[in-house]
Structure 1
Amino acid sequence: MRTRGTPRPPARLAGAGLATLAALLLSSCVRMPSDGPVTEVEDQVATSTATGIGFDPKPPQPGESATEIVANFLEAMKATPSSASVAREFLTADAQQRWEPEDGIVTYDELGDAVGEQQVAVPMAGVELYDGRGAWQGSRVGQVTTFELTTEDGEWRIDELPNALMVPTTWFEDEFSRVSLYFFDPTAQIFVPEPVFVPEGDQLASSMVRGLLDDPLLDPRLDRTFVPPGFTAGVSVPITSGGIAQVSLEGEPSAVDEDVRQRILTQLIWTLRQEPRVRALRLTIGDEEEQGLGGAVSQVGLSTGDAYDPTGAQSSGDLFGLLDGRLVRGSVGALSPTPGPMGTARLGVRSIGVDLTGDRVAGVSGDGRSVIVAPVDTSGRAVEVASGARDLLPPAWDFADRIWLADRAGGRAQISVVVGEQAPRSIDVPGISRRDVRHLLVSRDGSRLVAVVRTPRGDRVVASRILHTDGGRVLRATRAVVLDFEPDDATSVVRDIGWRSPTAISVLTDINEDLSQVETISVDGSPGDLGIEGASRLRGGVRDLVGSPVTDAEVFAVAPDAISDLAAPERTLVPLPAGVTSLTYVG
């Protein structure tokens, strides 16, 4: 993980979680699944252990000084597998009852020497903050954490401390995994994945399920859960040797009708299938188990809920582009003219964006001032949907057929959205609007907007969250935050950005005239390895990325006369046909 030079607010909707945690550190204190395969449940519960070597810390020893108590308390939080039981022994009896380390996580690159007696201060460098679900909340270059101590039975014990797990960055990287929690968008038509970090091993499934429960930080204008307020999860989520995850939700079954029950199932399945051992799910709500055919207890398979895929359930996997000004579609090396208006005639467009099903295309005029929309594969007419702009970037579409436009406007960008036949509606995006915007992406689920903004200190990649009503109307966007990407120097230029997953993008920058670099980063701003394979350096004057959020989709690097797969950069797939421009996937 990288230590940034300035603190940044969280990429989630509001800064309440970060502010609360920071204050503590500074203080002294639709298509629904209708059935599933009915199978026999294996009674044996499988177990696993976290990766790495186990560490069982020592409890407090007689005669330890106040600073030793604090230092050994911090050491005890490195227990492997993760456990706070020994760390709790360093607290007074009252503090043991009050301390709630599950409320947040603080990671640090380095610890300074503990100083003090009744109040012990510990400097921390390279701090990252996470909320109770493991969602990243921000960075701090340095932080002083204080602990209030008192004597109990003649020994020093900690009486006031932050409600957080405090561990080294290296330990956190070894013991926690990056996953996504799957919530619905405000219209309940598509999933919105929220990146979080959760403990590995036997705690993985349980931590993910707890993260899905109703959270006061969830904003219904951004995403929603169908688990009713007040419902809690069982202590753990056991997984049988046959791969059946057994989820028990504690709450009144009558509060959950069939529609809500099925929505809960889809959230659980999409989240839990990130646990490699899980093959299916068995759900109990209160004392009622999910029933299948003939009244038998059923296991629901992992394919349930595919209609809510955040990349678009019916999205096209084709490539689209312009060949000598006409629209083409297909695959690399097999791009064919389309029969629609933009494929049969040169309509003077310079860039395109295609809706998720591949049925309609939006094209920016050659002068960058207007946008036309036309069918891709059927006859019809091209309709102008926007005009009067100065310099439009390529359009972006989301699942609701909204077209997102960015007019660079001479370095004072204007963001707007087109819905149906309505006129474009301006959307203010603090940190992006009225800035020098070079590239724009919108997630297919309509929840995130990512842009490249040029600054005197070099190009920055920033992201904003898009708020909607439950009817799908765009309300506003949150202030954009700088993502975990920093150019090598102030002269570095971001050539392009492209989706690699629903929560990650790749960034293409120049090293020199012949050498380029690709770095993949998380859209929530969190640091750390994403585990996405791809070239880090490319030769040949690469100028564009063609990316997709779909798992296993080919991601291409485009040079002036050739195109390469990022997963195999040494293999040039085909020479790029002369005249091909604006190559893109849908979205």
Structure 2
Amino acid sequence: MTRPRLLTVAVTLACATGLTTTGCATLPSSSSPQVIDTFAPEGNDLAVPTPVPDQEPDLLVRDFLKAAAIADQRHAAARQFLTHEAAETWDDLAETIIVLRADLSAEGGRSADRAEYTLRAEKVGTLDPGGIFREDVGQLEVTIGLTRTDGQWRIDELPPGVVIEKAEFFSTYAQRDLFFLSGSGDTLVPDPRWTAADRTDLEYSLVNLLATGPRPGLTDSVLSRVPASVSVRPGEDDGADVPGTTIDFAGLPVLSSQATTQFAAQVVWTLARADVPGPYRLERDGAPLDERYANGWTTEDVRDFDPYPPAEPMRYALTAADGLVRLEPGGARPAGGPWSEVRGGSSASVSYDGRVLAMVVGDEDAGTNRLLVGAIDGEPTEILTARSVAGPTFNPVDGRAWVMVDDTRLVRIGMGRGGPDVQEMEAGPIRSLGGEVTALRIDQSGAQMAVVADGKVFIGALSAETGQPLAGTFRQVGRALGETATAVAWRDRSTIVVGRDTTEAPVATVSVDGAIAEPLSQRNISGPVTAVAAAGRDIYVVDRRSLLRLDTGAQTGDRYWREIPGLAAIRADPVVAG
């Protein structure tokens, strides 16, 4: 199980031109990997600010902003800094804006009993209802007025909503995943949410959030066995000396055996990934949901739904001299067969079952690209020829390969006994992102797609019913990366890897909600990066020299990008599942 991830909100306006802008945090080549523009979390034992006797008005506003990060009891801690009338009328639920840093200036003047400050800040995101983080940009400017009450300064004028400085957000909130079912119903899709880091009723809070359903962008892409009609309460043994967690569901209808397992998978993995202790005794109105698990469910009981299953290592690569090569412990050797006779391959992916290969082959003289698809141990079939082909990527649900052709057509290809089946998909949602599409990747659940368009990264949803890209769901993530993205890959279902056209921090990871952006090691890598791929804890990139591998799980503070045995100093492209 993993610890909840603390927020790392990326700088937006200050880094609009990329991470090389002066003042934007990047990864020096002489140091270990660092988080892009991050603050070290101060821990969850932060003292709750309270008004200090005879406190100056500007300092009181500062403490009010710190207290505003504590949402308990309708921001009771922050209301202590308000006059009685303002505390009763302040609408703290209007919106929650996260800013980089709040600057105060006394432009409104100050008298013996009156003070007015203008708060200016750079917005980096909003926290929407349900703990949904949404990247945002722009300048915030609000007025805060204070008056003397019984000789002490108190705020009597402030706008609706809450403003939280990023550093305080780090200290008081943590990211935790809710899990919903993919359209096929046999795998889980993470939906990251931000909740109070130290809340004592975390298990009930998370399950209640599950009942409210997925975030708006995922509504038509996922399914849920946790109905909105349910409510949860502590089990009868809550507080007793019984290991694990008991949750009693009220209003839960009778479920089939399959639906019960799916329901348990959503709840168990949501709680387990948030470090809520198991086993998990799931009850309906005081009785076990399933008598077979009266003593509690564990992740092993729903292992088939593991949202972060182990991934196969990279087994193939493309080379100029030998075409498709197979990677073995002793090095790389030609894979053999027709695919090794193909030259000019620029990108390729293999299906999740390892049987089908899709490859884009470039012809520099003609200025065209060909898409070849076929069994990995059989003859490739030419599917189409175009000026540009972005992809390929495989959908894990139906096993079809997808490509974007000439920035205008979205095509998926299935290989049956009768030959290739080519279908036109709805390309409008992707065309609307930009003029030039250079990369697209479907995630491991088949519910979401990452796209690079005009150097920016977008994530959107695929319909659970038709598999088509859903209009209105694509949103830009990793705004701090500017317009430098060249390639994208899914590290897992909640994180993407981005290759960049820059020498500073040429590879970064971004969370699916855009809240977390981290540069990867810059040791022994020379940007720009033209291709990225991920296989488990290993990340592969092609820099200006060769194909490199980074072991992100290595137990060392200084991780190096290393060449692939047998491919040292050889320009090659990675070939992984997906």
User: What TM-score do the two structures reach when normalised by structure 1?
Assistant: 0.72
Select which of 468, 472, 495 maps to 1:504. 495
SS in 1 for 2:171: helix
Of all paired residues, the percent bearing the same amino acid is 19
Question: Which whole-Å CA distance do the structure 1 matches of 2:323 and 2:240 have between them?
Answer: 56
Equivalent residue number for residue 86 of structure 1: 77
SS in 2 for 1:86: helix
Equivalent residue number for residue 462 of structure 2: 467
SS in 2 for 1:198: strand
Question: Which whole-Å CA distance do the structure 1 matches of 2:384 and 2:410 have between them?
Answer: 14
C-alpha contact (below 8 Å) 1:505/1:521 kept by paired residues? yes
- The change in CA–CA distance for 1:553 and 1:67 in structure 2 (over 3 A counts) is closer
Which structure 2 residue ranges, 5 or more long, are not aligned? 1-8, 17-41, 416-420, 553-558
Select which of 53, 57, 71 maps to 2:49. 57
Question: CA offset at residue 67 of structure 1?
Answer: 9.2
1:193-213 per-residue CA deviation (whole Å, 9 max, x = no partner) reads 122222223445444333322
Question: CA offset at residue 496 of structure 1?
Answer: 3.9
Select which of 339, 356, 368 maps to 2:352. 356
Question: Which whole-Å CA distance do the structure 2 matches of 1:539 and 1:315 have between them?
Answer: 24
* Segment of structure 1 superposing worse, 211-220 or 570-579: 570-579
- The change in CA–CA distance for 1:584 and 1:542 in structure 2 (over 3 A counts) is farther
Equivalent residue number for residue 126 of structure 1: 122
Question: CA offset at residue 424 of structure 1?
Answer: 3.4
Matched, 1:405 2:403: yes
Matched, 1:213 2:205: no
C-alpha contact (below 8 Å) 1:121/1:144 kept by paired residues? no
Equivalent residue number for residue 43 of structure 1: none
SS in 2 for 1:84: helix
Matched, 1:585 2:576: yes
Q: Which amino acid aligns with 1:404?
A: W
Matched, 1:453 2:438: no
Equivalent residue number for residue 510 of structure 2: 521
SS in 2 for 1:228: coil
Matched, 1:548 2:545: no
C-alpha contact (below 8 Å) 1:104/1:133 kept by paired residues? no
1:491-549 per-residue CA deviation (whole Å, 9 max, x = no partner) reads xx54543333322233334555xx763222223332x455x8x4134345674554326
Aligned length: 518
Equivalent residue number for residue 545 of structure 2: 560
C-alpha contact (below 8 Å) 1:462/1:482 kept by paired residues? yes
Question: Which whole-Å CA distance do the structure 1 matches of 2:256 and 2:194 have between them?
Answer: 31
C-alpha contact (below 8 Å) 2:404/2:410 kept by paired residues? yes
Which structure 1 residue ranges, 5 or more long, are not aligned? 9-49, 455-459
Matched, 1:320 2:316: yes
Question: CA offset at residue 136 of structure 1?
Answer: 1.5
* Segment of structure 1 superposing worse, 77-86 or 354-363: 77-86
Mapping for residues 230-249 of structure 1, pairs under 5 Å = 230-234=229-233, 244-249=244-249
C-alpha contact (below 8 Å) 2:222/2:464 kept by paired residues? no
Question: Which whole-Å CA distance do the structure 1 matches of 2:570 and 2:71 have between them?
Answer: 58
C-alpha contact (below 8 Å) 1:59/1:87 kept by paired residues? no
Question: CA offset at residue 468 of structure 1?
Answer: 0.7
- The change in CA–CA distance for 1:442 and 1:499 in structure 2 (over 3 A counts) is same
Question: CA offset at residue 138 of structure 1?
Answer: 3.0
Q: Which amino acid aligns with 1:211?
A: L
Equivalent residue number for residue 481 of structure 1: 476
* Segment of structure 1 superposing worse, 445-454 or 334-343: 334-343
- The change in CA–CA distance for 1:152 and 1:287 in structure 2 (over 3 A counts) is farther
C-alpha contact (below 8 Å) 2:278/2:296 kept by paired residues? no
Question: Which whole-Å CA distance do the structure 2 matches of 1:393 and 1:272 have between them?
Answer: 38
1:263-305 per-residue CA deviation (whole Å, 9 max, x = no partner) reads 2211122222223453432223333333444xx7221112343
- The change in CA–CA distance for 1:334 and 1:211 in structure 2 (over 3 A counts) is farther
Q: Which amino acid aligns with 1:536?
A: Q
Equivalent residue number for residue 522 of structure 2: 536
SS in 2 for 1:370: strand
Mapping for residues 256-267 of structure 1, pairs under 5 Å = 256-267=255-266
Structure with larger RCO (C-alpha < 8 A, sep 6+): 2
Equivalent residue number for residue 224 of structure 1: 223
C-alpha contact (below 8 Å) 1:78/1:171 kept by paired residues? yes
Question: Which whole-Å CA distance do the structure 2 matches of 1:426 and 1:77 have between them?
Answer: 44
Question: Which whole-Å CA distance do the structure 1 matches of 2:283 and 2:94 have between them?
Answer: 26
RMSD: 4.5
Question: Which whole-Å CA distance do the structure 1 matches of 2:115 and 2:215 have between them?
Answer: 32
Question: Which whole-Å CA distance do the structure 1 matches of 2:369 and 2:239 have between them?
Answer: 57
SS in 2 for 1:395: strand
SS in 2 for 1:265: helix
SS in 2 for 1:170: helix
Question: Which whole-Å CA distance do the structure 1 matches of 2:147 and 2:263 have between them?
Answer: 46
C-alpha contact (below 8 Å) 1:372/1:382 kept by paired residues? yes
1:120-147 per-residue CA deviation (whole Å, 9 max, x = no partner) reads 8752412221112222223243224468
Question: Which whole-Å CA distance do the structure 2 matches of 1:549 and 1:211 have between them?
Answer: 31
Equivalent residue number for residue 274 of structure 1: 273
Question: Which whole-Å CA distance do the structure 1 matches of 2:97 and 2:327 have between them?
Answer: 48
1:142-180 per-residue CA deviation (whole Å, 9 max, x = no partner) reads 22446899999999786996355x422101112222232
Equivalent residue number for residue 567 of structure 2: 576
C-alpha contact (below 8 Å) 1:181/1:212 kept by paired residues? yes
C-alpha contact (below 8 Å) 2:532/2:540 kept by paired residues? yes
Q: Which amino acid aligns with 1:184?
A: L
Matched, 1:329 2:337: no
Q: Which amino acid aligns with 1:133?
A: G
- The change in CA–CA distance for 1:339 and 1:315 in structure 2 (over 3 A counts) is farther
Equivalent residue number for residue 252 of structure 1: 251
Equivalent residue number for residue 457 of structure 1: none
- The change in CA–CA distance for 1:146 and 1:191 in structure 2 (over 3 A counts) is farther
- The change in CA–CA distance for 1:471 and 1:585 in structure 2 (over 3 A counts) is same
Equivalent residue number for residue 38 of structure 1: none
Question: Which whole-Å CA distance do the structure 2 matches of 1:175 and 1:77 have between them?
Answer: 10
1:222-255 per-residue CA deviation (whole Å, 9 max, x = no partner) reads 2232211232344899798886233333x32335
Equivalent residue number for residue 18 of structure 1: none
C-alpha contact (below 8 Å) 1:563/1:572 kept by paired residues? yes
